[in-house]
Each structure stands twice: as C-alpha cells, then as structure tokens.
Chains A and B, each alone.
Chain A
Amino acid sequence: MTVTSVGNVLSARNVVKIFAREDGTPTLALADVSLEVSMGEVLVLVGASGCGKTTFLRLFAGLELPTAGEVQRFGRTVTGPAAEAALVFQSSVLLPWRTIRENVMLPAEIQRRKGSEWRDRATELLEMTGLAAFADAYPRELSGGMRQRASICRALLLDPPILFMDEPFGALDAITRATLNRELYATWRHTGKTIVFVTHDITEAVRLGSRVVVMTPRPGRIAHINEIVIDAESYDERIESQQYVDLLRELEHQVHVITSTTERDDGSPAAADADLVR
C-alpha cells in the first residue's frame, strides 16, 4: 500500500461500491472514484439525487465499506466509524426522550468519558450557538434550525478533527440555511476542522467550500473538481466577491451540462437514491 502524503486527512483510491436493491439486484453506486481530502479544508460534494454523494460520505465515515478500492483516514484503512470523526445528518437525529444538553453530551457518554468537563463543554457549545436557554428543553420544543444547531454541538463535543455533514441544512428554509451557513463558516474558521459536506444546493457549496466536487449520477463518478480560492477576510467579503459570483455561474453550468446529458432515466431519482443509501 502506498503511504498517504502528509496533510491528507482522507483519501479514497479507486473506490467501487455496489449495493443490493430491495429486490436483490446489484446496483453500481460508485464507479472507480478517487479523491484526497487535505487537512483543514471544506470539501463539498454536489450532485443530483442518486449520484452517490451520500454513499461517498458514508464510505469516508466508515458507515459503509467499499466493494473494491480503499478508503484511508489519517493513512490507515477505514474499517468502521472512529471517534476522530463526527457526523451531522440531514435530520438532527436528536433523541426525543433526552434534553438538548443530554443529547449534546451523548458522544461523551457513549465513549464512557466521565467528568464534569463534558457538561461544561456542552454548556459552552450551547452558549456559542445561542441555545443556552434551551439546554434543558426537549427537542420537540425547538425549531428545525435550532435542532440542527444542537446536532452540530453534539458533533463538536469531543472536538474531532473531522466533520462529516450529510445535507445538514437540506431540510431547512432558505433563510435559516443562509444563517447556518454563515455560522458554520465562522466555526470552521475558528476551529480549522476538516469538513466533508454533502449538498445539492450550489449556493451552499460555494458559500462554504474550499473545493467543490461535482458528481454525475448512475453510477456515481467525479465530473469536476473546483478549487475555490477566494481571498476574503470575512464571510461577507467572500460572498460579495467577484470570484464567488463567477464560481456560482461556473458550477451552475457544470451541473446543467451533467443533467442535460444524463437526463431521461427518470425512474424517480429520489426513491432510487434512498434505496442506494440504505
């Protein structure tokens, strides 16, 4: 095996993933995909439903294992989930019988890390995200955006170097999403985490990404890798820059080309995607 170069947090080499559909037919979800993620970057995977972007993320996270090829995390072959990476899902996945604080503290509990410092850490994170007043509330009492903030707090609790985010703001309204994009950008600047972010929202991709990978559907392949180099000091500067606007247009174009060439196999792509993921 080749040794991963320094700075590569994650790498996928010639990864193939085949799933069995519900009727047993094998389906090719990812075909020969290779990608490296370097330390501290926000790598965004964009593509239409069914393009295997979620599958790709789950392979990096160790929730799925590749049919062929290899996925490495910090130079070691991924064989399952690890504490050095945390996941944020599309729905907040807060356990409804736990208070927000108890939900945020779940990772420490599972890892059997005792001590009051985790409670303090949870409080600190909840304060940072403006949820301090809801620490003892139950998830049902919070809005969708607040729940997603809480689930990000949970992911940050053990301070893992890697965050995997699977369409974390996909179920939120556009205004809340914009706010959370801004907050996540600030968190990233502040903590320097390596983030792999799956979305189908191009704007979100350009707002957050250091690199944006555009994928094609059925089977999932990498179509374009866009380096995003915007020399901006702040988020506002970033989204007002000319590069931002240009990249948005470029991505729009890339996605349009892909969808117009892979069109007309419309076997309800959303359902197909759900099949593949599970």
Chain B
Amino acid sequence: MSEPPLKTLEVEAATSPAVEAADGTRQLEELKRLVAGRRWYYALWARIMLGAIPLVALTLLWLIVSAHPPHGALQYAAPRIQPTLTDLKNDIVGQSPIVRSAILLTLEETAIGLVIAITAGFLLGVPMGLVRLVDASLYPIIVVLQAVPFVAITPLLALVFGFGIGSKVALAAVLSFFPILLNVIVGMKRIRLDEIDLLRSLGASRAQTFLKLRLPRAFGSIFAGLQVGILFALLGAVIGEIVGGAGEGNGGLGVQLTIRTQGLDIPGAFSVLIIISVMAASLTLLVAAMSRLLTNWKEL
C-alpha cells in the first residue's frame, strides 16, 4: 500500500542529496519514529532496574551469609537463626494450603477495613473540607481520636467486636481511617479561586462544581491518603490477628506468624514476614498504578 510514495521519496533523496542534507526533516522523522511512544517505556524500565539493583544485592548478601555463616567476631553480627533462601522457598511452597487461606483471610480483613475507612473518610472528609463550620467543630475530636493508641487497645477491640474477623476489621478500619480522612480534607481544600470563578461564571451548581472540579483536583491528595491507608489497613489486620488470635480456623497471617515464632520455626516465621511484606508492596503499587491512571495529567 505505502510502497510507491516511499520509493518516490527515496528517488528524490538519491537525486538531490544536497537539498536532503540541508533540510533536517528526514532525520527528524526518523528520530521521531524511533522515540515515538517509547519514552515512558524506557523510563519505566529504568526505574524498575534501578529499584531492582539494591533488592538483588541484598538477596545475594543474604544468600552468601546464610550459606557461609561468618566465624570469629563477625558471627555475632549475623544472627544464626537466619534461614537460608532454600529454607524459605521450601516453606512458602510447602505450606501452601494453610498459608493460602491465611493470605486470603488477611486480605479480606484488610479490604473490608479499608472500604469502611474510605466510606467514613469521605462521609466526614468532604463536609469538613467544604464547610468551614463543620471543619472547626469536628477537627478537635479528630485530633484527639487520632492520638489514641488503638494498637494498645486491641484486646479491648476484641472484646467489643469479637475474636473472629470483627476485631481485625475494626483495627484495620481505624488505623487506615485517619490518613484517608486527613487527605480527603486536604484534597477538598486544594482549590483554585480562578477555577471556582470559572465554574460560577458558567452557572455551575454545587454538585457540578464538586464533580467536575473539586473531586478531580482532590484525586492526587486522596490517592496519597489511600497509599498510606492501605498499608495501615494491612498492618491493622495483622496486629489484630497477632493480639486477638485465630478465633476459629487457622487464622490469618498474623496468627501464623505468632504460631511459628512461638514454635521457634524461624524459616516459617520469616516466610510469613516475607509474604506480608510482598503483600504490602503489591497493595501500595496497586494504588500507585490506579492513581497514575486516574490522575494522568500534569499541572500547567
């Protein structure tokens, strides 16, 4: 299809080399084609590679140290209870049914807690961010409540919400609520007067101003809150499990962690820790990816 015009171009280029050399359009087009659509891809790869280097280095160090435990004075620097990578691999793969159900349970608690926190965060944060009166009257309570060490009263939560999933969800919700709430408030206040003037001049209703202006403007801040909130929710679920126990069944990852630590199953405890860390990292990345999709615009 596109053959003939290409050939004509080549012929022209061959017949008038002087003209072709003087005007840089062909070179420009070539470079454009080379770069087109790939810049973000290179940037992403560069970031992944840069982030991977320390991770790989640390894993290698672990591998070496655990395979050749140091002697002499250094032996006290490297803990002897450190499992080898093979231990961990066998453990993570080998224990899969119990671990899998634990992962699912912890995820469930995290998700329910997070949904509650997001709902409450919006229900309180939007009016607080928009109406100064509400903000002024509720802010002191929020500050006081935020200062309550909820982790310390986990046993109390277990008494109130039961030893099953309830108390874990409660802790997850409470811990993730504050970062989400505060960021929703900040996001709602992140307005530009000229944009408000524009919407007013167009005759926008309050609902339209909220949906078309305030909410998109708040996205960046809300996602920053979610990124912290999702971590706190996971943390809350795990702590809730550690303190509150299994209730019934095998329990979540926190319960598994306790069981293994108390049984001096060091590789087992480490593998649970690694699973929790990977989950935390994945959840954060998930939120970051969603944030990128939804706020894929830059300020002017």
Where chain A touches its partner, the secondary structure class is: loop
B 173-203 binary contact with A (CB < 8 Å = 1; else 0): 0000000000000000000111101111111
Chain B proximity of A168: nearest CB distance (Å):
12
A139 CA / B195 CA spacing, docked (Å): 14
A139 CA / B299 CA spacing, docked (Å): 9
Of residues A61, A86, A95, which shows the largest number of chain B Cβ atoms within 10 Å of its Cβ?
A: A95
A94 CA / B299 CA spacing, docked (Å): 10
Q: Does A19 contact B (CB under 8 A)?
A: no
* Interfacial chain B residues near A85, Cβ < 8 Å: 201
* Interfacial chain B residues near A107, Cβ < 8 Å: 202
Q: Which of B193, B199, B213, B297 contacts A140 (CB 8 A)?
A: B297
| Structural contact, A110 and B203, CB atoms closer than 8 A | yes
Q: Does B47 contact A (CB under 8 A)?
A: no
A89 CA / B300 CA spacing, docked (Å): 15
* Interfacial chain B residues near A82, Cβ < 8 Å: 203
Q: How large is the interface on B (under 10, 10 to 19, 20 to 34, 35 or more residues)?
A: 20 to 34
Q: Does A111 contact B (CB under 8 A)?
A: yes
Chain A proximity of B300: nearest CB distance (Å):
6
> A96 and B300 in contact (CB under 8 A), knowing A87-B197, A89-B194, A110-B212?
yes
Chain A proximity of B297: nearest CB distance (Å):
4
* Interfacial chain A residues near B297, Cβ < 8 Å: 96-97, 138, 140
> A63 and B213 in contact (CB under 8 A), knowing A96-B298, A97-B297?
no
* Interfacial chain B residues near A89, Cβ < 8 Å: 194, 197-198
B-facing residues in A73-111 (Cβ within 8 Å): 80-83, 85-87, 89, 91-97, 106-107, 109-111
Chain B proximity of A57: nearest CB distance (Å):
11
Q: How many residues of A contact B (CB 8 A)?
A: 28
* Interfacial chain A residues near B295, Cβ < 8 Å: 97
* Interfacial chain B residues near A86, Cβ < 8 Å: 201
B 227-247 binary contact with A (CB < 8 Å = 1; else 0): 000000000000000000000
* Interfacial chain A residues near B199, Cβ < 8 Å: 110
> A87 and B299 in contact (CB under 8 A), knowing A95-B213, A95-B216, A110-B208?
no
Q: Which of A81, A91, A97, A140 contacts B202 (CB 8 A)?
A: A81
| Structural contact, A111 and B203, CB atoms closer than 8 A | yes
Q: Which of A63, A96, A110, A138 contacts B204 (CB 8 A)?
A: A110
Smallest Cβ-Cβ distance to B195: which chain A residue: A93
| Structural contact, B201 and A81, CB atoms closer than 8 A | yes
A213 CA / B103 CA spacing, docked (Å): 73
Smallest Cβ-Cβ distance to B193: which chain A residue: A278
Chain B proximity of A92: nearest CB distance (Å):
8
* Interfacial chain A residues near B212, Cβ < 8 Å: 95, 106, 109-110
Chain B proximity of A58: nearest CB distance (Å):
8
Chain A proximity of B242: nearest CB distance (Å):
42
B-facing residues in A246-278 (Cβ within 8 Å): 278
Closest 6 CB pairs of A and B: A97-B297, A110-B202, A87-B201, A81-B201, A96-B297, A110-B204
User: Which residues of A line the B interface, CB within 8 A?
Assistant: 61-63, 80-83, 85-87, 89, 91-97, 106-107, 109-111, 138-140, 147, 278
**What would be 13 A-B contacts, judged by CB atoms less than 8 Å apart?**
A81-B203, A87-B201, A93-B192, A93-B195, A93-B198, A95-B195, A96-B297, A96-B299, A97-B295, A110-B203, A110-B208, A139-B300, A140-B299
